[in-house]
């Protein structure tokens, strides 16, 4: 039987259904709706990854961290030997316009947003959580505001996978792997003894998003944009938002 994500439990579906609208709809790609998670929601996750907000590939998949950034995150998890024992969430369930990101960071503390987000964070993890990885300033603020964060879990703050500062990104992620390898045990089919990050981000540092993280029927190339990166055009994702109608149009290309 092929593995696939059967979706959230009834309890999580009810919780996700209570997501509050963003505080300023104009600051978000609001009409595309929310995207909530990727990975295990049953409390078995040993690492919680928190990032910023979903992108266009995430909207296609209906799962968090699936595009180029998500494939970098999967590579990060792979270096820890994790193949399944993780859950990926975001500070915002709606995609934020980059020009409004700093302003929306301040709105993470709005009462409705704070209460709902902390409820999601708390429900998604269990007693076996070993680490929380906050990727980027938005995620780090959301985690700072999480008053119920399990104190047994090591907190690591790193640059967002889409950071435009490759030196800071690699230095931060390399140090995080060094810190977490003694803390996070690998899955039975994982290996945490491979190379750490070098001085440049290589294709080997990516991993495809596992089929078990995606809904049934997802095409085989969803979550694996190696073919896009191999073209050498500078593009990294198979899904994009075209201007000027990026609020209502997505362009999704399949491999030729």
* Amino acid 175: pLDDT: 98
For residue 159, pLDDT over 70 is answered with: yes
Taking residues 229-245, what's their average pLDDT?
A: 94
255 within a domain of the structure (yes/no): no
Mean predicted lDDT score pLDDT of the chain: 97
Q: Which residue has the tokens 């709809």?
A: 25
Using 50, 70 and 90 to split pLDDT, how confident is the model at 256? confident
What per-residue confidence (pLDDT) applies to 249? 97
Is a pLDDT exceeding 90 seen at residue 250?
A: yes
| Cα gap 90→52, rounded to integer Å | 5
Residue 251 belongs to a domain: no
CA nearest 141: which of 191, 91, 181?
91
Backbone angles phi, psi at 40, to 5 degrees: -90, 130
CATH of the domain at 189: 3.40.470
Asked whether residue 245 is assigned to any structural domain, the reply reads no
Q: What is the pLDDT of residues 66-110, one digit of tens each?
A: 999 999 999 999 999 999 999 999 999 999 999 999 999 999 999
d(Cα 103, Cα 106) in Å, to the nearest integer?
6
Is the sign of the CA dihedral 43, 68, 3, 197 positive or negative? negative
Inform me whether the pLDDT recorded for 255 exceeds 70.
Answer: yes
Q: Per-residue pLDDT for 1 more than 80?
A: no
Q: Tell me if 243 is assigned to some domain.
A: no
Mean pLDDT for the stretch of residues 43-51: 98
Query: Is 242 among the domain residues?
Result: no
Q: What is the DSSP string of 37-96?
A: -EE--SS--SEEEEES---HHHHHHTSSS-SHHHHHHHHHHHHTT-SSSEEEEES-SSPB
Asked if residue 237 is part of any domain, the answer here is no
For residue 16, which phi and psi values (nearest 5 degrees)?
-60, -35
- Stretch 174-203: mean pLDDT, rounded? 97
**Considering its fold, how many domains does the chain have in total?**
1
Write down the pTM of the prediction.
0.97
* pLDDT score of 212: 97
Residue with tokens 């429900």: 123
Whether 240 maps to a domain, the answer reads no
For residue 2, what pLDDT is reported?
82
Q: What pLDDT sits at residue 217?
A: 95
Structural domain of residue 17, as residue ranges?
Answer: 10-225
Indicate whether 123 belongs to any domain. Answer: yes
Given a cut of 70, whether residue 58 has pLDDT beyond it is yes
* Mean pLDDT, range 35-50, rounded to an integer: 98
């Amino acid at each position: 039987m092929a593995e696939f994500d059967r979706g959230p439990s009834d309890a999580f579906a009810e919780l996700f259904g209570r997501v509050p609208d963003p505080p300023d709809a104009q600051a978000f790609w609001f009409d595309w709706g929310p995207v909530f998670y990727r990975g295990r929601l049953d409390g078995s996750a040993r690492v919680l990854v928190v990032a910023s907000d979903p992108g266009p590939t995430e909207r296609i998949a209906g799962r968090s961290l699936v595009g180029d950034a998500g494939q970098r995150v999967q590579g990060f998890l792979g270096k820890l030997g994790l193949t399944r024992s993780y859950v990926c969430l975001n500070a915002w369930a709606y995609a934020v316009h980059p020009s409004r990101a700093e302003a929306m960071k301040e709105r993470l503390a709005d009462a409705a947003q704070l209460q709902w987000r902390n409820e999601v964070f708390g429900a998604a993890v269990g007693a076996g959580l070993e680490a929380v990885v906050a990727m980027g300033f938005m995620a780090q603020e959301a985690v700072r505001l999480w008053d119920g964060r399990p104190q047994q879990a090591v907190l690591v703050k790193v640059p967002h996978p889409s950071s435009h500062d490759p030196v800071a990104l690699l230095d931060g992620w390399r140090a995080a792997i060094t810190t977490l390898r003694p803390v996070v045990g690998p899955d039975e089919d994982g290996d945490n003894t491979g190379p750490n990050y070098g001085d440049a981000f290589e294709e080997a540092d990516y991993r495809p998003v596992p089929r078990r993280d995606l809904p049934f029927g997802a095409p085989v190339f969803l979550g694996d944009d190696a073919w896009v990166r191999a073209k050498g055009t500078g593009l990294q994702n198979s899904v994009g938002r075209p201007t000027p109608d990026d609020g209502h149009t997505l362009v999704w290309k399949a491999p030729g």
